[in-house]
Amino acid sequence: MDMDWDAMRSRFHLPEGLIYLDGNSLGPLPAGTSERVRRVIEEEWGDLLIRGWNDGADGAGWMDWSARLGDRIGRLIGAPAGSVSVGDTLSIKVHQALSAALQMRPDRRVILSDEGNFPSDLYMAEGLIASLDRGHELRVVPPDAVADAIDDDVAVVMLTQVDYRTGRMHDMADLTARAHAAGALAVWDLAHSAGAHEVDVTAAGADFAVGCTYKYLNAGPGAPAFIHVRPDLIDAVRPALSGWLGHAAPFAFEQDYRPGEGIARMRVGTPPVLQLAALEAALDIWDEVDMAALRARSLELSERFAKAVAARCPDLTPALPSDVPRGSQVSFRHPKGYAIVQALIARGVIGDFRAPDILRFGLTPLYLGEAEVDAAVEHLAAVLERREWDDPRFRARRGVT
């Protein structure tokens, strides 16, 4: 499919003159979101009140959104209909997937992950291990050592497909196949994958996949997460977080828990209606996106940016060798990385920083083109050449980096 990238850019609200290279952390506001949320507030919550759970201004009510929007996300990650549910936070979904996987491998005690995994995922694993108190071990290895570390002791391989700092991309199909060959299950975090590039959890054989919607999917700050379970496994999943909406009959108010049918059992709490409305508006854009075309364009922009920075900013060290597959971001290392990013933001170019020394830039074709990429490089070069970063106001760490 041929994509009109200029038309796509018009679908987002972006302040005039701002170059936004941080959609890998928080996506910008889709142009239709404000109106969609307004309608839910005024026409549904305002006029329908509690009837909105069953009846919506556009048809199905709020209670159906977790499954309906899950199917729309499923198209972006290669998941079949009925295998994705939306709601709760990403950490909750990681906990659900990991606990379910461990229950399916009761004779094994090792959770294998890598040093590039998002810390929250590792924290969830540590907390689960402590609460289970059955001798499980979290084994963390370098990213390039994962394949060789998968052995008969491993119960679950838990990885984020794209490293949140460097952008390094794991081969999901290969590592899942290795996990299965060793008798283990695979849990994939797609936080930096969904909406960034082509993903096919079905072809890869992923057992569980989780992800957030506030990064590349542009559903807004605090937007809910999603979870996918391989359809042939779902009936064997016993939810550790047995919330009332995961019950087979939530409104029967039975005293004992019975898991719902299929992916519905992975629901926990009440759907965040206003955030789901924002997600729905964002997915209207994604319905028009060809993921193969998006990936090709992302690689073009990333390569253009990386080469230009290498030529203009020799003090920056690439976080990845050029031959290592990466997601839709380009990262560099510098001991003054935080101050450099702050100086760049002061110029109207928004990237971000990740400790200890990573400057991180998201290259998102939906609202970025060659002009923005080239201008960002010029600003970055100026910050370095003029040592603009060496200003006390840029060195002072703020709460959110």
Place of tokens 């590349």: 216
22, 88, 114, 189: which one is catalytic?
189
CA distance 358 to 69: 34
Query: Which of 352, 367, 359, 351 shows the shortest CA–CA distance to 333?
Result: 359
Residue 94 burial (CB < 10 Å; 0-12/13-18/19+)?
A: buried
75 is catalytic: no
Active-site residue identified among 12, 216, 360, 394: 360
Which position has the token pair 């004779």?
107
Which amino acid, 263? I
Catalytic one among 108, 165, 178, 215?
215
Contact between residue 42 and residue 191 where contact means Cβ atoms under 8 Å apart: no
304 a catalytic residue: no
**Does the active-site annotation cover 189?**
yes
Respond yes or no: is residue 251 known to be catalytic.
no
Contact of 150 with 185, CB cutoff 8 Å: no
Of the listed 20, 118, 164, 361, which one is catalytic? 118
Catalytic residue among 12, 20, 214, 305: 214
| Residue 118 is a catalytic residue | yes
Backbone angle region of 82, left / alpha / beta, with phi > 0 → left and psi within -120 to 50 → alpha: left
Which residues participate in catalysis according to the annotation? 118, 189, 214-215, 360
